[in-house]
Amino acid sequence: MILVRTEGKGVDYVLNSLSEDKLAASFRCLGQGGVFLEIGKFDIMNNSKLDMGNFAKEIEFRAVFADNLIYLPKEREIVHKMVEKDLRSGLIQPLNSTVFQVNDIENAFRFLSTGKHIGKVLLQIRDNEKSELSLPIKVYNRTVCDPHMVYVIAGGLGGFGLELADWFILRGARKIVLSSRRGITTGYQAYRIK
Amino acid sequence: MFAEYTHNLTWTVPSSMSLKDAATIPVVYTTVYYAFFFYRPISSGKSILIHAGSGGIGLAAIRVALAYGLDVFTTVSTEPKKKYIMALYPQLKGIIQFIRSFIFVSRLYSTFGDITLQRKTSEIRVIVHLNK
């Protein structure tokens, strides 16, 4: 079909997300000097074989893993600028989407796996982004300590200091300095320090 | 309240756009721009085959490829998807419908190989049904 429509020449680019025999067939659709842009992961992760004969057309196979951008700040900046430009110009437009409520996430995934969707499947987290009442996740205030930081408790061997040390440790602190004039003097202090 | 995010992977939502619509943009368009423009930029007058044209990436990729002046071919798996995409992108050079099953897919692709060089066509749009 592709070869028919292009009068046997094949296409210059293929943006491929298909796998296995369908990948191989897409690969054959490339014309002279074409570029295969592979955004699927299945065959790459499975270390599948590729028919080298196709490279006689001087084609190029490029894997594109956009998730790698997270680790590539320079590349990310360039891509960001390009998207920004076309977003402002109006070239980039939103896609068709199907919305599921956040508590209906199972059905959202089932719908996605049937492949009947057009565009994106979205989860609605909040009804109204301006209202705190629609926050879906109950937030429990809890202090979290950094295990790499050192916490100093002045008078830390006192009753309150030892309790406070316990409180810090339960919240993730791993390095605590307890200051004291006299050092450990009671059995209870020794027991708690242990 | 605060949010953690990766620098340069966020954009300010245009004032005319709802958050729901905006949510459809970052992942797909970032992938498309990274694929299309980073190492070997696509250019006007070339042709491209975009698989699964009605998916998120597919829809975005077709839009960008058409805007940058390419001839676009695409594949879709169902009749409603084909109709949707034809209405949205009438400039498409070809839409191939296939059935999401291995048997039909393999037949389709053997057809890719066989018809190939024997036939030429001057039709603007050819839609092949192979799901019979």
Residues of A in contact with B17 (CB under 8 A): 94
- pTM, whole model, 2 decimals? 0.69
Of A39, A97, A116, the CB nearest to B31: A39
The pLDDT value recorded for residue B98 is 61
How many helices (H) and strands (E) in chain B?
5, 4
The pLDDT value recorded for residue A1 is 54
Chain A, window 103-162: residues with a beta carbon less than 8 angstroms from a chain B beta carbon: 115-120, 122, 124, 129
CA distance B71 to chain A (A): 9
Other C-beta atoms lying within 10 Å of the C-beta of residue A53:
8
**CA atoms of A122 and A131, how far apart (whole Å):** 20
Beta carbons of A75 and B23 less than 8 Å apart: no
**Could you tell me how far CA A164 lies from the centroid of its own chain?**
37
State the DSSP code for A53: G
Other C-beta atoms lying within 10 Å of the C-beta of residue B80:
12
Burial category of A51 from C-beta neighbours within 10 Å (exposed 0-12, middle 13-18, buried 19 and up) = exposed
The pLDDT value recorded for residue B26 is 93
Give the helix/strand (H/E) hosting B82: helix B79-88
Provide φ and ψ at A164, rounded to 5°: -65, -40
The pLDDT value recorded for residue A23 is 86
Q: Which residue's structure tokens are 């409603």?
A: B80
Residue B56 contacts residue B27 (beta carbons within 8 Å):
yes
Burial category of A180 from C-beta neighbours within 10 Å (exposed 0-12, middle 13-18, buried 19 and up) = middle
Chain B, window 11-50: residues with a beta carbon less than 8 angstroms from a chain A beta carbon: 11, 14, 17, 19-40, 42, 46-50
Per-residue pLDDT of chain A (194 residues; tens, 9 = 90+): 555 555 567 889 999 988 888 888 888 888 889 999 999 888 998 898 888 888 999 999 999 999 899 999 999 999 999 999 999 999 999 999 999 988 888 899 999 888 889 999 998 887 777 777 666 666 667 788 888 899 999 988 888 889 999 999 999 899 999 888 888 888 788 787 77
Residue B63 contacts residue B89 (beta carbons within 8 Å):
yes
- Say what the alpha-carbon torsion angle A111, A115, A118, A119 is, to the nearest 10 degrees: 80
The pLDDT value recorded for residue A137 is 61
Residue B68 contacts residue B42 (beta carbons within 8 Å):
yes
- Say what the alpha-carbon torsion angle A59, B86, B58, A33 is, to the nearest 10 degrees: 10
Prediction ipTM score: 0.71
Give every residue of chain B whose pLDDT is below 50, as ranges. 99-132
Beta carbons of B119 and A75 less than 8 Å apart: no
Sign of the torsion formed by the C-alpha atoms of B57, A69, B39 and A88:
positive
Distances (CA, A) of A157 to A91, A176, A178, A191: 66, 12, 6, 11
CA distance A150 to chain B (A): 24
The pLDDT value recorded for residue B109 is 41
B127 — contact with chain A (CB < 8 Å)? no
The pLDDT value recorded for residue A156 is 85
The pLDDT value recorded for residue B130 is 28
**CA atoms of A71 and A17, how far apart (whole Å):** 22
Chain A, window 40-69: residues with a beta carbon less than 8 angstroms from a chain B beta carbon: 60, 62, 64, 66, 69
Sign of the torsion formed by the C-alpha atoms of A174, A180, A185 and A188:
negative
Residue B43: left if φ>0, alpha if ψ -120 to 50, beta else—which one?
A: beta
Sign of the torsion formed by the C-alpha atoms of A147, A151, A157 and A160:
negative
Residue A193 contacts residue A184 (beta carbons within 8 Å):
yes
Three-state DSSP class for A176?
strand
